[in-house]
């Protein structure tokens, strides 16, 4: 096999080893990422169950319609998270815990339905019931609430245990990934060193033998044979040496022939020296190639380490940024120049009854009535055209109900100053609007009472107190 062929095979071997190590590292870190995402979904479920417990308490005390709607949204959110957690590759032990949590979740829904029906029935028959019947109903409702809270606590406890188990599994997966990277790197270094050693030895060994034989032949020992049997350029050169010494041995001992032999020997010596110099140059070139390979190997190891650190830092920043957006109480979205959604946070996606990643490529016409969607698009075009942000109070549809929101929209520009999209953030101000209307109504009523009669001071005082309470609430809302 030729020397060039050997070097080509050595290079291909290094490339294959590098690809194999890269594939192993990719699969290992992908497994760690899957475990981490599963763990994050369980933590989100624990947060929703805590909110559900608080809403259950508040609903049992005040029976508010808003709290009822929030409870149903949280309940559906937990159901979605349970279904998502059971999909994909799940351990049998984890699946058993998730099934138990699903069972408690269904029972919790049935208990809340019973509690809701009890409250509705009590409102219809409250005037006709005796005190004893009312007390019995209250005790039964308290028991249903306690049973529901117990189910919430069961689900939270199981989720906490599952989260702890998954944290341990993530730590083990990260440890395994580190060991795999370490052993893969060590194996690559050892294997590449061994291959380089044997390849270089296979090339330099025959060269050293050829140099030694050329020195012997140059000193006049024409019976010496070059013992090199490799089938490459060096083997061909050794065969030529042997043929040359054989021809010299057949030359007669006459003076003329001796002179010719001397001349031929000198020529052979010169040729041998030239060949020897060429072989030494080739040897130096091979050693330089080996040093270059080692330098490339060190550089590759450094690049792998730097890339690993960069990927870890990038994932950490993305997780912090995404966590910040998803935990803000406001709804946040980003659109392109054509008012097409690019992304949104978790709160806005929940209002639209979709997942955050499903909003990409959608427009307002996919979620809102045509009149409202057309208005949103006109506002976007005006703000992007003026290159100036605006604060708006506008109508908003959530779960089929019309509400009021305070919206802040800002155009997004690139490094050249061209508008590439629009960033929006909004929050619900329906309660504030209602309190403003109620304040105006009480003020009008106060004015009517004040003008109509001076003997109703107590009613006027009560209305003034109510107006002050509404003003305090409005200041808190703002």
| Domain segments of the chain as ranges | 1-327, 329-428, 435-477
Q: Measure Cα distances from 207 to 187, 225, 282, 294 in Å.
A: 30, 15, 9, 22
pLDDT interval class at 343 (50, 70, 90) = very high
Chain segment 108-160, per-residue pLDDT in tens: 778 777 777 776 666 655 555 555 555 555 566 677 777 777 877 777 777 77
**The tokens of 223 are what?**
């019976």
Per the document, the length of the chain is: 478
H or E element, residue 344: strand 341-344
pLDDT interval class at 449 (50, 70, 90) = low
Rg (CA), the chain: 42
Q: Measure Cα distances from 329 to 43, 324, 348 in Å.
A: 18, 10, 10
Q: What pLDDT, on a 0 to 100 scale, did the predictor assign at position 126? A: 53
161 φ, ψ to 5°? -65, -40
| 397: three-class secondary structure by DSSP | strand
Q: Please list the alpha-helical segments (H only) found in 328-429.
A: 346-351, 370-386
Compare 52 and 340 and report the one with higher pLDDT: 340
Q: What single DSSP character describes residue 126? A: T
pTM of the model: 0.34
Q: What pLDDT, on a 0 to 100 scale, did the predictor assign at position 253? A: 43
- DSSP assignment string, 347-359: HHHHHTTS-GGG-
Enumerate long-range contacts of 4-9, CB under 8 Å, 24 or more apart: 6/199, 6/202, 6/203, 7/199, 7/289
Q: Are 68 and 59 in contact (CB under 8 A)?
A: yes
Cα–Cα distance between 268 and 248 in angstroms, integer? Answer: 10
Q: What single DSSP character describes residue 339? A: S
What is the pLDDT averaged over residues 376-402? 84
CA angle 293, 297, 300 (to 5 degrees): 135
| 417: three-class secondary structure by DSSP | coil
Q: What pLDDT, on a 0 to 100 scale, did the predictor assign at position 344? A: 92
pLDDT interval class at 86 (50, 70, 90) = confident
Compare 415 and 63 and report the one with higher pLDDT: 415
Please state, for a pLDDT cut of 70, what percent of the chain lies above it: 76
Enumerate long-range contacts of 163-169, CB under 8 Å, 24 or more apart: 163/39, 163/42, 163/43, 163/46, 165/93, 165/94, 166/35, 166/38, 166/39, 166/42, 166/94, 167/39, 169/35
Q: Measure Cα distances from 272 to 223, 230, 246, 407 in Å.
A: 16, 19, 15, 90
Query: What b/e sequence results for 369-407 when a residue is b if at least 16 CB atoms lie within 10 Å of its CB, and e otherwise?
Result: eeebbebbbebbeebbeeeeeeeeeeebebeeeeeebbb
H or E element, residue 427: strand 419-428
pLDDT interval class at 87 (50, 70, 90) = confident
Q: Which of 97-106, 191-200, 204-213, 319-328 has the lowest mean pLDDT?
A: 319-328
pLDDT interval class at 252 (50, 70, 90) = very low
Residue carrying the six token digits 């005037």:
127
Q: Which of 41-50, 255-264, 392-401 has the lowest mean pLDDT?
A: 255-264
H or E element, residue 27: helix 3-62
Selected from 3.40.50.300, 3.30.450.20, 3.30.1120.130, 1.10.260.40, the CATH number assigned to the domain covering 329-428 reads: 3.30.450.20
State which of 30-34, 160-164, 303-307, 344-348 shows the largest mean pLDDT.
344-348
CA angle 461, 464, 466 (to 5 degrees): 110
Q: What pLDDT, on a 0 to 100 scale, did the predictor assign at position 255? A: 46
Q: What pLDDT, on a 0 to 100 scale, did the predictor assign at position 358? A: 92
Compare 24 and 133 and report the one with higher pLDDT: 24
Q: What pLDDT, on a 0 to 100 scale, did the predictor assign at position 9? A: 75
pLDDT interval class at 332 (50, 70, 90) = very high
pLDDT interval class at 185 (50, 70, 90) = confident
Q: What pLDDT, on a 0 to 100 scale, did the predictor assign at position 143? A: 76
- DSSP assignment string, 169-232: HHHHHHHHHHHHHHHHHHHHHHHHHHHHHHHHHHHHHHHHHHHHHHHHHHTT-TT-------SS
Q: CB-based contacts of 70: which residues, under 8 Å, 6+ apart?
A: 55
Average pLDDT, the chain: 77
Cα–Cα distance between 356 and 306 in angstroms, integer? Answer: 32
Compare 360 and 89 and report the one with higher pLDDT: 360
**The tokens of 18 are what?**
């590098």
């Amino acid at each position: 096999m030729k020397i060039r062929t050997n070097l080509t095979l050595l290079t291909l071997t290094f490339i294959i080893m590098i690809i194999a190590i890269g594939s192993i590292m990719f699969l290992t870190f992908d497994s760690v990422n899957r475990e981490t995402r599963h763990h994050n979904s369980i933590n989100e479920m624990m947060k929703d169950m805590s909110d559900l417990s608080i809403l259950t308490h508040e609903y049992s005390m005040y029976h508010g319609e808003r709290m009822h709607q929030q409870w149903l949204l949280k309940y559906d959110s937990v159901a979605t998270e349970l279904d998502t957690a059971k999909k994909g590759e799940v351990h049998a032990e984890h699946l058993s815990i998730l099934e138990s949590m699903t069972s408690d979740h269904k029972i919790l829904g049935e208990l809340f339905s019973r509690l809701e029906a009890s409250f509705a029935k009590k409102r219809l028959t409250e005037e006709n019931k005796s005190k004893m019947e009312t007390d019995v109903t209250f005790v039964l409702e308290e028991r249903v609430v306690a049973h529901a809270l117990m189910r919430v606590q069961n689900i939270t406890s199981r989720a906490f245990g599952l989260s702890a188990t998954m944290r341990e599994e993530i730590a083990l997966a990260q440890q395994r990934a580190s060991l795999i990277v370490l052993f893969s790197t060590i194996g690559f270094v050892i294997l590449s060193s061994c291959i380089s050693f044997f390849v270089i030895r296979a090339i330099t060994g025959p060269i050293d033998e050829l140099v030694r034989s050329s020195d012997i032949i140059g000193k006049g020992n024409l019976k010496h044979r070059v013992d090199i049997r490799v089938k490459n350029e060096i083997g061909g050169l050794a065969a030529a040496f042997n043929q040359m010494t054989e021809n010299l041995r057949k030359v007669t001992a006459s003076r003329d022939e001796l002179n010719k032999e001397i001349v031929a020997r000198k020529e052979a010596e010169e040729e041998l020296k030239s060949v020897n110099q060429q072989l030494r140059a080739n040897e130096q070139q091979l050693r330089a190639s080996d040093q270059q390979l080692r330098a490339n190997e060190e550089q590759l190891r450094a690049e792998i380490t730097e890339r690993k650190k960069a990927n870890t830092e990038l994932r950490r920043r993305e997780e912090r940024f995404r966590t910040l957006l998803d935990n803000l109480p406001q709804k946040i979205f980003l659109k392109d120049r054509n008012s097409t959604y690019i992304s949104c946070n978790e709160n806005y996606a929940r209002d639209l009854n979709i997942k955050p990643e499903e909003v990409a490529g959608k427009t307002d016409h996919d979620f809102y009535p045509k009149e409202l969607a057309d208005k949103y698009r006109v506002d976007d075009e005006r703000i992007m055209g003026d290159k100036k942000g605006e604060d708006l109070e506008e109508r908003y549809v959530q779960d089929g109900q019309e509400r009021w929101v305070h919206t802040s929209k800002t155009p997004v520009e690139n490094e050249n100053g061209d508008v590439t999209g629009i960033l929006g953030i909004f929050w619900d101000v329906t309660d504030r609007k209602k309190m403003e209307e109620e304040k105006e109504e009480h003020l009008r009523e106060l004015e009517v009472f004040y003008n109509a009669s001076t003997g109703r001071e107590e009613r006027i005082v009560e209305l003034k107190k109510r107006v002050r309470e509404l003003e305090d609430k409005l200041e808190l809302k703002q």
